[in-house]
Structures are given as structure tokens and as C-alpha cells.
Amino acid sequence: MNLVVAGTGYVGLVTAVCLAEKGHKVTCVDVDEKKINLMREGKSPIYEEGLEELMHKNKEKLHYTTESGKAYQNADVIFIGVGTPEKKDGSANLKYVYDVAKEIAQNIQKDTYVVIKSTVPIGTNKKIEKYINANTTNGHTVEIISNPEFLSQGTAVRDTLHAQRIVLGANTEKAIQVMKQVYDQFGIEYVITNRESAEMIKYASNDFLALKISYINEIANLCEVVGADITDVAKGMGLDSRIGNKFLNAGIGYGGSCFPKDTKALHWLGNYYDYELKTVKAAIEVNENQKIKLIKKARKYYETFEGLNVAVLGLAFKPNTDDLREAPSLDCMPILLEDGAHIKAYDPVAQANYKKIYPTEIEYCNSIEDTLKDADICFIFTEWDFVKNMDTSLFVKYMKKPIILDGRNCFAIDKMEKEKLIYESIGRKAVTNLSC
């Protein structure tokens, strides 16, 4: 089959490479010529574990182009994997989906199946099908299939190749059979339904996980007040098979390209139909407050950050990615800078992207030691392995005043109690072996 994937971000490129890994020849289309040239050189434009290796392995099956018209002409199946960022009102911006739809309508030379992998509001697949078929220039038709993705950044390749389910929303049995030709080599269970249900499965899944995160963070905040330990609480909850232990790690909130925009988009959609999703609204509000929790903790030790040396370990919203979208560090950094702090930061992957936002305002380091040297306080925003596995005596050895505020609960309390420092995390007792 002639497969084409529009968009080479996390969804599009990972989808294309994994389809190639399963034996398909795939053409990747993007409007960004720099990205296309980079991929032609065998380099991934995004940091994702295992992705570049698979690009090299399957280079004979992968073709990269900006010439979308030629790519769409004789495609059997076109996957749309472009971004759907949020608008200011919280709704999903479908501009890029419609841009691709317009090009498909203008260029297909035969009846074609179009698969929407992008996360889109319920009812979008139907609208896109109507739009393309109303604008085709040569009488050919398309059938739209909803096939949402469920990958996580940092584990996207594994999540695609070994997914827990493949959701297919289609109106005809023929469309389902075509998609099974695409996916049967994956050996993964299908969930077959209508397009609206497939679209809702995606939003309902992501928003439920966001709810779990916000819920455990609220419980963690209360644990700090009443003297409970969120680590033990989460373990006790997670052993209940009805609850499970996934997404029960307390911290400073969720970020990334999915949960923030998907919760806002579903909440917006509910309001559009005069139905308020109160639980989703609460998850959004809790998460926004949680992002600056470390700043609030820091105010106990310093009324102002003016003139302070601030160390920051981790900038990305989660480990094993260079993605900064909705990262808590981006909420905290402006507060620190506006207050007059001198910031030294270290992230093994995300620093290049951070420099695009703060090219000169922050001093970027290449080691823990350089970052901590002479620091008055340290913020941990990302639970990278280099942080979790570090020698905690380095805080005492290098910092001027070893006050550590850990937004990801990287260290065991009993371990930190052996050091002469102040250590505060999320939902656990504070270690205060240092006078302020």
C-alpha cells in the first residue's frame, strides 16, 4: 500500500517510522523544508528514544518531502498527524488539519482513505470528510477514519509498536478492512467503533489520566498539612487493581503537548454544548496552581529572590524528552527572573530549546556540580535519572546554602535526613537539618 503521513512531529513522524518498521513504505510530508532536509540526513527533528535508530534501520522504506501534491496524488491511505494546539479560549486549533485537508482535496487522483491521528474535537472527522468531498477538483472521494494515538513522549516508539489497543472509528466495513491491512502486522487488539466514539475515546483517556494526576497532587498537598506521606498513600492506593499505580506520582503538575490542551479542549467542548465538565475543570485549575508550588515553598526561606544564586535541575516537562510545552519550569522561571535571581540551569536534552526562549537571561551548565556551585537554593523541576541517581552530598558540598525544593520527589526522605540541608518535596515531611 502507498502510505503517506502529513506532519512530522511526535505523532506524525513516530507513526511513519513505526509503519515502516512493520514493512510499509511511507512518505512523510511536511511544510518545513529544514526539517525535511534534516530527516533526509537521517536525523530526527525531535528527541525521542529509539526514533533515530529506527529511521536509519528503515531508511529504504521512508521518503521525506515538502511536495505534498505529488505525495497525495496516488496515496492509498493518508494519515493526518499535524498539531492541534489550543486557542486562547481553550478550544482546539484545527487550522493545520484543514490545511492538509485542502491539499488532499486538490491533489488526489483516485478515491482515497484519510486517517486522522491528530487529536480533534468530537465531530471533526465528519466535518473534514464533508469538507474534502465538497472541494475535490476531479470527482474523487475520500472516506475519513478516526485512528487516535495514545503515545507518551519519551516512550512514543514503544507505545506505538506495542500499543495496548488500536482504535478505529469508521463508517464502513471496507474502511476497517483497509486499516487492518495497515495494522495487522502490529498484532494488537482492535477497538472498532464509530468516528465520534473514537474521537471521544482519545479525549476521555487523556483527561482521565490528567484527573488522576491532579487528584493525587491535591491529596499530596493535604498530606503535607496533616502529616501523612504521599508515597505511602499512593502505594496503598495503587495496589488496588480498581485504581492501579499509574499516574499516581505526586509532583508539580502535568505538562507536555497533550494533557493541558486536551483537558481545556474537552472542557471548552462541553461548555459549547451547555454542559460543564466539573471534574475536568477542577483538574485544570489544580494543575495550574500546582506548577508554582515550589515558588510558594521558597518564599518561606526568601521573601525575595533578588541577588540570589538559584540552581535549577531539569527544564523539560518530563524526562527523556526535549519538549517544553506547558513545562512547570516555564511558569516558575519568569517569577524568579523578574524578582532578580541569577539562575544556573542544567538539563541534558532540553537546554537547546530553552535557549530559544531565554538565550541570555539564564546561565546554562553542563554538570550538576557547576549548577549547584554557590547556589542559595535549588529547584528540581524534572525527574531525570541523573537527578534521581546523583550523590546527594553534592548539595552540601557545592551550595552556599543547601535548600532543595524537589518538585518530583526524587529522593527518599530517610536518605536526605542524613545530610545537613533543608529538603522539601511534594506531599511528604520536610527535612530541616539546617538553620535559616
Range list of H helices, 164-309: 173-183, 195-226, 230-238, 259-272, 278-290, 293-298
Per-residue burial over 190-202, b = 16 or more CB atoms within 10 Å of its CB, e = otherwise = eeebebeebbbbb
The last residue of a domain, from among 193, 226, 255: 193
Give the whole-angstrom CA distance, residue 410 versus residue 395: 14
Q: What is the CATH number of the domain that holds 262?
A: 1.10.1040.10
The last residue of a domain, from among 160, 193, 226: 193
| Same domain (yes/no): 314, 185 | no
Contact 342, 367 (CB under 8 A): no
Range list of H helices, 48-153: 51-57, 68-73, 95-107, 124-135
Per-residue burial over 155-188, b = 16 or more CB atoms within 10 Å of its CB, e = otherwise = ebbebbbebeebbbbbbeeebeebbeebbeebee
The last residue of a domain, from among 172, 193, 214: 193
| Same domain (yes/no): 46, 169 | yes
| Same domain (yes/no): 310, 428 | yes
| Same domain (yes/no): 275, 359 | no
Q: What is the CATH number of the domain that holds 428?
A: 3.40.50.720
| Same domain (yes/no): 366, 244 | no
| Same domain (yes/no): 179, 253 | no
| Same domain (yes/no): 171, 249 | no
| Dihedral sign computed on CA atoms, order 91, 314, 378, 426 | positive
Query: What are the φ/ψ torsions at residue 398 (nearest 5 degrees)?
Result: -105, -25
| Same domain (yes/no): 258, 363 | no
Give one word for 256, left, alpha or beta, with left for phi > 0 and alpha for psi -120 to 50. left
| Same domain (yes/no): 70, 49 | yes
What's the domain count of the chain?
3
Let me know if 258 is a catalytic residue.
yes
| Same domain (yes/no): 94, 164 | yes
Q: What domain range is 213 assigned to?
A: 201-290
- Counting Cα atoms < 13 Å in the Cβ hemisphere of 165 gives 13
| Same domain (yes/no): 232, 311 | no
pLDDT tens sequence for the chain (436 residues): 899 999 999 999 999 999 999 999 999 999 999 999 999 999 999 999 999 999 999 999 999 999 999 999 989 999 999 999 999 999 999 999 999 999 999 999 999 999 999 999 999 999 999 999 999 988 899 999 999 999 998 899 999 999 999 999 999 999 999 999 999 999 999 999 999 999 999 999 999 999 999 999 999 999 999 999 999 999 999 999 999 999 999 999 999 989 999 999 999 999 999 999 999 999 999 999 999 999 999 999 999 999 999 999 999 999 999 999 999 999 999 999 999 999 999 999 999 999 999 999 999 999 999 999 999 999 999 999 999 999 999 999 999 999 999 999 999 999 999 999 999 999 999 999 987 6
Active-site entry in 18, 258, 332, 378: 258
3-state secondary structure of 94: coil
Give one word for 237, left, alpha or beta, with left for phi > 0 and alpha for psi -120 to 50. alpha
| Same domain (yes/no): 340, 221 | no
> Mind listing the pLDDT tens digit for each residue in 78-112?
999 999 999 999 999 999 999 999 999 999 999 99
